[in-house]
């Protein structure tokens, strides 16, 4: 077929370095940008096949999120804004690792396995982040798309979080970038309009844009906020390097404010995005200069508490749950289950896992501790809220709660975790509750914890179960961890192979920082 001839011809221009093997992991393919040209071309091919199979537009994101500027990566996005299924991740790995001369065979295998009708039209939407390598790498994706006769629906140099949103073709509002801003900003203004007496101080937020795409988008969006949120934007991409000593990952891991920000006043509310703006963390320093981090767990707690209160006031019997991973601080889980009486579920690391579990509930709030997350509402829940908001026969209290719930739905990007939408949601909740960042912080106190990375010969020898909280192999490892944990108070520890780096991650928490550090260290020795 002529199509396959074209693939052969084009693939010669995107050759695979001999011996290079890469795995489609939690965040797609991610490594040094120099190794990715052939991967991009091949993901263009795969996205075209996926589009033919689903008869819908597929998204391709060229980004390496919080990783350094010299890295890059690629992941495919399904028509409803979700990550592709496990089978297709395996197809991606097969296609990426096929030697140059075996590429056509690998491609044909996928076509056969998936029974793809090659005469079906294909549409692919490609987005890239602000990295210098992104322009040529996204072109390689487009070369792959056109080699298989797919149409590209535009190469967007843009905010990657709006791609899933736009793939949903307007399900969540007008499917344009302009629609994206107006919808979220309008909802934010509606939510905050009756919060009387907010001072300029309360409306002020200090934002670290990680020198990434989120910063550019916030600049474009600001006018829609009509001064109801006044953002001091640092690390806006005009000077510093992407994610370099700034951004959500730096702040979370280093437990300190980003560089490149203005001097933070005591109590000033601050937040950081990561480079592709799908993670956000909040922080402040107190009057003694001590740094306080409010991570994904604190956000999930604030949001679920707010939603639960509104559902109760509205008299709506809807099932709400918080979905976390093993990295969630034990204090947050304890607070949610025992004080808030909210159902908590734990899943494997990676947003796609959290997203799927959250879909099982009427209202599913999901966050990773590192700041990835969002809230999902079932169709039935949205309908009930909508009906109540329009009902003229309900009392004021119920009506007010229903209206707040409706606007809350509108401020949320349900397709995927999105730092801008999460920021507007948190800002709105704090405004409505008249809460300072310190008050939010004191809802519960994090247990001291430590995360370590351990380099081993082959991280895949560790296999886990129970949402990655227990190691099944190698033999004896879990027993060793259990024995170490017993030595400390309020202690918990687990190990798992990273899905994005060639390391084993060790997590430990305990009643004091010294104990958490010691436990993490001892467990990391047990991993060798």
**Binding residue positions for substrate:** 368-370, 496-500, 505
Give the residue with the Cβ less far from ligand NG1, 42 or 279: 279
Residue 505 contacts ligand NG1 per CB under 6 A: yes
Tell the smallest beta-carbon distance from residue 368 to ligand NG1 (Å). 4
Confirm whether 65 is a catalytic residue: yes
Q: Answer for the pair 425, 303: CB distance below 8 angstroms, yes or no.
A: yes
Backbone angles phi, psi at 378, to 5 degrees: -70, 160
In this chain, which residue has its C-beta nearest to Zn ion?
65
Residue 498 contacts ligand NG1 per CB under 6 A: yes
Where does this chain touch ligand NG1 (CB under 6 A) — which range of 358-366, 368-376, 485-493, 512-520?
368-376
Identify residues 50-69 at the interface with Zn ion (CB under 5 A): 65
**Dihedral angle at the C-alpha atoms of 212, 214, 220, 222, nearest 10 degrees?**
-130
**In 281-436, which ranges are continuous DSSP H helix?**
296-314, 330-334, 351-358, 379-390, 396-411, 419-433
Give the residue with the Cβ less far from Zn ion, 240 or 373: 373
Where does this chain touch Zn ion (CB under 5 A) — which range of 79-87, 230-238, 268-276, 383-391?
268-276
Binding residues for Mg(2+): 65, 274, 276, 278
Residue 421 contacts Zn ion per CB under 5 A: no
Residue 143 contacts Zn ion per CB under 5 A: no
Give the residue with the Cβ less far from Zn ion, 26 or 93: 26
Q: Out of 65, 331, 421, 493, pick the active-site residue.
A: 65
Pairing of strands 504-509, 449-454: antiparallel
Q: Answer for the pair 242, 212: CB distance below 8 angstroms, yes or no.
A: yes
All residues at 6 or more sequence positions from 307 whose CB lies less than 8 Å from its CB, including other chains: 320, 363, 365, 375, 405, 408
Identify residues 307-346 at the interface with ligand NG1 (CB under 6 A): 327
HSE (CB half, 13 Å, CA atoms) of 422? 36
Tell the smallest beta-carbon distance from residue 338 to ligand NG1 (Å). 25
Among 276, 422, 427, 522, binds Zn ion (CB under 5 A): 276
Tell the smallest beta-carbon distance from residue 495 to Zn ion (Å). 24
What distances in angstroms separate CA 258 from CA 99, 210, 235, 255, 282, one per listed residue?
A: 43, 9, 9, 9, 12
Where does this chain touch Zn ion (CB under 5 A) — which range of 201-209, 274-282, 309-317, 395-403?
274-282
Backbone angles phi, psi at 270, to 5 degrees: -130, 155
Distance CA 274, CA 353 (A): 20
- Binder of residue 368, out of Zn ion, ligand NG1, none (CB less than 5 to 8 A by kind): ligand NG1
Give the residue with the Cβ less far from ligand NG1, 91 or 352: 352
Identify residues 213-242 at the interface with ligand NG1 (CB under 6 A): none
Distance CA 50, CA 80 (A): 13
Tell the smallest beta-carbon distance from residue 73 to ligand NG1 (Å). 9
Tell the smallest beta-carbon distance from residue 325 to ligand NG1 (Å). 7
Residue 208 contacts Zn ion per CB under 5 A: no
Among 162, 228, 278, 362, binds Zn ion (CB under 5 A): 278
State the first-to-last Cα distance of the chain, in angstroms, to the nearest integer.
52
Give the residue with the Cβ less far from ligand NG1, 11 or 370: 370
Tell the smallest beta-carbon distance from residue 76 to Zn ion (Å). 16
- Binder of residue 501, out of Zn ion, ligand NG1, none (CB less than 5 to 8 A by kind): ligand NG1
All residues at 6 or more sequence positions from 110 whose CB lies less than 8 Å from its CB, including other chains: 46, 49, 91, 94, 95, 116
Tell the smallest beta-carbon distance from residue 326 to ligand NG1 (Å). 9
Residue 274 contacts Zn ion per CB under 5 A: yes
Residue 372 contacts ligand NG1 per CB under 6 A: yes
Distance CA 63, CA 30 (A): 8
Q: Answer for the pair 519, 45: CB distance below 8 angstroms, yes or no.
A: no
Distance CA 405, CA 318 (A): 12
- Binder of residue 414, out of Zn ion, ligand NG1, none (CB less than 5 to 8 A by kind): none
Residue 229 CB-density burial (10 A; 0-12 exposed, 13-18 middle, 19+ buried): buried
**Per-residue x/- mask for ligand NG1, residues 8 to 37, rule CB under 6 A?**
------------------xx----------
Instruction: Give the bridge partners for 453, in sequence order.
Output: 505
Tell the smallest beta-carbon distance from residue 150 to ligand NG1 (Å). 27
Instruction: Give the bridge partners for 75, in sequence order.
Output: 61
Among 267, 501, 517, 521, binds ligand NG1 (CB under 6 A): 501
Where does this chain touch Zn ion (CB under 5 A) — which range of 278-286, 320-328, 458-466, 478-486?
278-286
| Chain centre distance of CA 11 | 32
Residue 368 contacts Zn ion per CB under 5 A: no
Q: Answer for the pair 14, 114: CB distance below 8 angstroms, yes or no.
A: no
What distances in angstroms separate CA 381 from CA 316, 385, 405, one per listed residue?
A: 9, 6, 10
Interface residues toward Zn ion, by CB under 5 A: 65, 274, 276, 278
Interface residues toward ligand NG1, by CB under 6 A: 26-27, 65, 327, 349-350, 368, 370, 372, 498-501, 505
Report, as residue numbers or ranges, the catalytic residues.
65
């Amino acid at each position: 077929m002529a199509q396959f001839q074209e693939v052969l011809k084009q693939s010669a221009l995107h050759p695979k370095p001999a011996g290079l093997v890469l795995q489609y992991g939690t965040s797609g393919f991610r490594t040094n940008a120099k190794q990715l040209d052939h991967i991009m071309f091949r993901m263009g091919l795969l996205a075209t096949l996926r589009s033919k199979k689903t008869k819908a537009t597929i998204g391709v994101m060229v980004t390496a999120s919080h990783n350094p500027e010299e890295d890059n990566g690629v992941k495919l996005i399904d028509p409803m804004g979700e990550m592709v299924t496990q089978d297709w991740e395996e197809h991606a790995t097969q296609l990426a690792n096929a030697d140059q001369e075996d590429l056509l065979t690998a491609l044909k295998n996928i076509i056969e396995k998936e029974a793809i009708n090659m005469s079906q039209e294909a549409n692919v939407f490609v987005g890239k982040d602000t990295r210098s390598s992104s322009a040529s790498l996204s072109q390689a994706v487009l070369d792959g798309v056109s080699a298989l006769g797919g149409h590209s629906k535009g190469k967007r140099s843009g905010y990657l979080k709006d791609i899933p949103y736009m793939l949903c073709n307007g399900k969540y509002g007008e499917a344009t970038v302009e629609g994206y801003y107006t919808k979220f900003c309008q909802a934010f203004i509606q939510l905050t309009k009756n919060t009387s007496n907010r001072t300029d101080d309360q409306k002020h937020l200090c934002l670290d844009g990680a020198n990434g795409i989120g910063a550019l988008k916030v600049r474009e969006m600001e006018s829609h906020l009509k001064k109801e949120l006044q953002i001091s934007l640092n690390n806006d991409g005009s000077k510093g390097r992407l994610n370099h000593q700034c951004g959500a990952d730096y702040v979370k891991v280093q437990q300190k404010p980003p560089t490149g920000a203005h001097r933070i006043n005591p109590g000033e509310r601050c937040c950081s995005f990561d480079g592709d703006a799908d993670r956000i963390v909040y922080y402040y320093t107190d009057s003694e200069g001590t740094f306080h981090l409010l991570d994904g767990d604190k956000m999930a707690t604030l949001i679920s508490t707010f939603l639960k209160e509104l559902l109760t006031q509205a008299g709506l019997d809807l099932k709400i749950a918080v979905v976390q991973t093993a990295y969630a601080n034990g204090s947050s889980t304890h607070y949610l289950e025992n004080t808030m009486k909210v159902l908590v579920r734990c899943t494997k690391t990676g947003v796609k896992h959290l997203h799927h579990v959250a879909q099982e509930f009427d209202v599913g709030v999901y966050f990773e501790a590192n700041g990835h997350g969002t809230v999902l509402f079932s169709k039935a829940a949205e309908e009930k809220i909508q009906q109540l908001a329009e009902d003229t026969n309900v009392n004021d209290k119920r009506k007010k709660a229903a209206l707040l719930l409706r606007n809350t739905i509108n401020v949320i990007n349900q397709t995927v975790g999105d730092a801008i939408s999460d920021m507007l949601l948190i800002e709105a909740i704090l405004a409505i509750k008249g809460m300072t960042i310190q008050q939010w912080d004191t809802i519960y106190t994090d247990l001291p914890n430590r995360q370590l990375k351990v380099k081993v010969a082959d991280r895949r020898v560790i296999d886990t179960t129970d949402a990655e909280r227990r190691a099944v192999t190698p033999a004896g490892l879990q027993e060793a961890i259990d024995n170490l944990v017993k030595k400390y108070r309020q202690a918990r520890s687990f190990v798992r192979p990273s899905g994005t780096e060639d390391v084993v991650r060790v997590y430990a928490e305990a009643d004091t920082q010294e104990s958490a550090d010691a436990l993490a260290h001892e467990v990391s020795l047990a991993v060798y």
